[in-house]
Amino acid sequence: MAAERKKLLLRLDPAVHDALARWAGDELRSTNAQIEYLLRKALADAGRLPGGLGRIRGPGRPPAVPDPEEE
């Protein structure tokens, strides 16, 4: 069972939010996923990313899982 994700209230300048939302859309992510992606990248670049973190899913739709009853 995965650990429960933390919730955070984040106040952003509307122009910053709009830019993040457009960027997220370009990469087929939600705005929330884009913020988490950028935070993880910044932590990794600073050498502060904690070990044992699960991988963040890549952009776009998850791969389709074949229905076992159709095989």
Q: Which two tokens stand for residue 33?
A: 């996923």
The owner of tokens 């095989």 is 71
pLDDT one digit per residue (tens) for the chain, 71 residues: 567 889 999 999 999 999 999 999 999 999 999 999 999 999 999 999 998 877 776 767 777 776 566 55
* Tokens 């996923």, residue located: 33
Give which of 68, 53, 52, 11 is closest to 35, Cα–Cα: 11
Task: Tell me which residue has tokens 């070990």.
Answer: 51
Q: How far apart are the first and last CA of the chain?
A: 29
